[in-house]
Amino acid sequence: MMKLSRTLAKWIIAAGSLICGACAIAAPNVFDRASAQSGASAPKTVSADIVSSSLDVIPGTDFDIAVRLRHEFGWHTYWINPGTTGKPTTIKWATPQEWEIQSLGWPAPDMEQKGPIASFVYSGQILLPFKVKVPIGEKLNQSKKISAHVEWLACKDICIPGQADISFSVNIASQELPAPEASLIPQALAQIPGEVNTSGSIKAYYEADRLSFEVSSSMGSVENRLLVLPQERGLVDYDQGFVLQDAAKAKKLYLKTTEQFQKKPPESIKALIVADRPRSTGWAVQTDIELAPGKVSRLPFLALDKPAPVQSQVSLSSLSAILFAFLGGLILNLMPCVFPVLSLKILQLVDTKRTKGPLWVHGVAFTAGILLTMTALSATLMLLRGTGSMIGWGFQLQSPWVVAILALLFFSIMLNLLGLFEFTAASHLSDARTIRKLPTHGPQGSFWTGVLAVVIASPCTAPFMGAALGYALTQDTWESAAIFLALGFGMALPWLVLTVIPVWTKLLPRPGAWMVSLRRIMALPMAVAVIWLFWVLSHQVSFYGLVALLIASCSLTVMLWEIGRSQYGRGSSAILKILTGLVAAACIALIASGAFTAARHVQNKGWERWSEQAVLDALEQKTPVIVDYTAAWCVTCQFNDKVVIRTNVSDRALAELGYRKFVADWTNRDEAITRSLASFGRNGVPLYVLYNGTSGRATILPELITQPQFVEALKRNCQQ
């Protein structure tokens, strides 16, 4: 009883710590909003000061200074072109008579997108450098003061105007003396994009409300994102989105123009070209780009238009996204990819005699495992999004080594349920007479079962989930975390209720040999999961990669068998356990190294490999198009393919209506497919998109769809 009390106390302390931590983190946002509404003093947002390269300067020379802006966490100010909203930072200098000061440029900003609003912002610490020229006639041994009035607009959840009057004094001397923070000036200058002549490297054309830039690969590599940011505000409408396409030895960027641009198109624009920022591998340059009228295809902009769903669908708000995520989590318990883990949970719930402590403690532990893992997953996705990476739901299963490790994990659990070994010491599973000696399991086991449930749930996308998770990855950190937590709570709720209200346990038979039989039966879902993971890996690696996993499985079996012999007191070989463990680890390392990676090939009759250009070519020919965004590890995708998408009925309908069929295979990581998913507000598969051959209008189908609904959607798409 004392041991149970200590365990329960640990869980209560842990839960209390989490709640207090969450409240402490969330409190600043709450107080910011409260003070703004109550008229209290504005919170500190940005501080400003001057950094100089010199304390003593020589007449007739020049030196560098910079205005340093330090932003509080979460706050940002704006670039010279702030975007749709915002206000650029302004600096008004007051210098001694005949002194000259000129700007050395602005650092490349980050692009922040909140819903449809795009802004170009600075956060953290930035320095805006200037060059100061000292007149040759200045007398020695005197001090001169340089002052600046700085105004900015700082935004987070709210926007607060700010200003500061700052100054710095230098001495006129016969010898220059560096300032203490002089080393910051070269760093600031290094952040200013250089001016280059791009007349032969960039071609720009406009037509109606469309603008295209073709950037030659000679400018530099572009992996994920390319932005062309005019310094003049109001020319380009980034709120309408943008499309980046691969072309021969170039990247093509398509943008929408504003009414101001359309009324009087400029002959050229001074712009900043930014590639893959804020990643360290990115680059940025300033240039003048000549614009010319020309043909700009309308088709790339189809991805910018809001797709029309088959059924009416309200636009998501934060509250509706949280509700959708919660409902999706509930439904996720009925999806096949979760069955193997839930079989473990069923076994724990049924075997009440071996369960340490009250059932509700296990329910809380299982829920905590799910919620903490969802929080970690949300944080990982937000962190990678902040570095410029584009990923989505189920991204971990795009790595063959993760699939291989999961296969070995489920294989180990299967062997455990079959009685080869135990995760705890001294099991004695030989017969029913020793059933009372079976090892007990505490809340820790329930916690890790919750963790495993989230990891293995990724291959499934339940109804409501797709839109909710797509919305989550476009919002700020706290809204995204709330949506992921709602998904996790929906997933955990049925099991939490079963443990809090354990009336059903009275219906169970008395403990006996049937528990051993139940463990053997529960090994079957694990075996199915192992076979499925082997099949998934077969789509990611070559034949030799599968052989490596098979060798790892055999080695793991021998190692666990030796562990089981030791637990049964029959003796075992420590050397054999170490050797077989090393062999299994070496096989996984080989798979992780990419030595066995194999290219994926579309094997479905009549279906072509997807690419943006292939879809555009088909639409140019006025042909209706269907795109199937899928993955081998996506159970929902495979179910839909077998039951709806690839049936004889669907094949006939697609052929009769003249559809071009494309498969976007996301089994392995593919940046182009990830970008395409994001353009439709999705971050996972399945996704089914129909394009009308005449208008090019896109229609999104539900994640789960019946055969009649699918055929009807195909016909309706051709009639638009």
* Tens-digit pLDDT profile for residues 104-132: 999 999 888 776 678 899 999 999 999 99
Helix (H) or strand (E) holding 181: none
Distance (Å, rounded) from C-alpha 417 to C-alpha 407? 15
C-beta atoms surrounding 22 within 10 Å: 14
Cβ proximity of 692 and 409 under 8 Å: no
The CA distance from 552 to 408, in Å, is: 8
Mean pLDDT, rounded, for 470-495: 78
Residue 207 confidence (pLDDT): 87
Give me the chain's average pLDDT, please: 78
pLDDT for position 18: 41
The pairing of strands 159-172 and 46-52 is unpaired
Q: Are 646 and 605 in contact (CB under 8 A)?
A: no
Helices then strands, each counted (H, E), the chain: 18, 26
The CATH number of 195-296 is which of 1.20.120, 1.10.1660, 2.40.50, 2.60.40?
2.60.40
Same fold, 46-191 and 195-296: yes
pTM of the model: 0.48
The CATH homologous superfamily for domain 46-191 is Thiol:disulfide interchange protein DsbD, N-terminal domain (2.60.40.1250)
Is the predicted pLDDT of residue 147 greater than 90, yes or no?
Answer: yes
Q: Work out the pLDDT band at 314, boundaries 50, 70, 90.
A: very low
Counting residues of the chain whose pLDDT is more than 90, the rounded percentage is: 24
Q: What is the pLDDT of residues 383-435, one digit of tens each?
A: 765 554 455 555 666 778 888 888 888 888 888 878 787 765 433 443 444 34
41 or 61: whose pLDDT is higher? 61
**What distances in angstroms separate CA 126 from CA 40, 66, 94, 166, one per listed residue?**
28, 9, 22, 16
- Judged on CB neighbours under 10 Å (0-12, 13-18, 19+), 551 is middle
* Percentage of residues in the chain having pLDDT higher than 70: 74
Q: Residue 483 and residue 468: Cα distance in Å, rounded?
A: 7
396 DSSP 8-state letter:
G
- Placement of tokens 């329910």 in the chain: 363
pLDDT at 515: 65
- The answer to whether domain 607-719 has CATH 3.40.30.10 is yes
Report H helices in 98-205.
184-190
> Residue 16's pLDDT band (boundaries 50, 70, 90)?
very low
Domain parsing of the chain, residue ranges: 46-191, 195-296, 318-398+426-523, 607-719
| 630 and 685 Cβ atoms separated by less than 8 Å | yes
More confident residue, 29 or 194: 194
> For residue 101, what are the CA distances in angstroms to 90, 97, 130, 185, 415?
15, 11, 7, 15, 76
Strand bridging mode 125-133 / 62-71: antiparallel
pLDDT band at 252 (very low <50, low <70, confident <90, very high): confident
The reported pLDDT for the residue numbered 603 is: 55
Q: What is the mean pLDDT of residues 640-669?
A: 89
In order of 86, 207, 544, the CA distances from 548 in angstroms are 56, 56, 6
Nearest-CA neighbor of 392 among 645, 634, 701?
634
Q: Which of 130-144, 413-427, 552-566 has the highest mean pLDDT?
A: 130-144
- 556-567 mean pLDDT: 85
Three state DSSP letters for 236-276: ECHHHCEEEEEECCEEEEEEEECHHHHHCCCCEEEEEEEEC
In the predicted structure, residue 36 carries a pLDDT above the cut 50: no
- Which residue is it, tokens 């073709």? 214
Per the DSSP assignment, residues forming a β-bridge with 172 are 57, 142
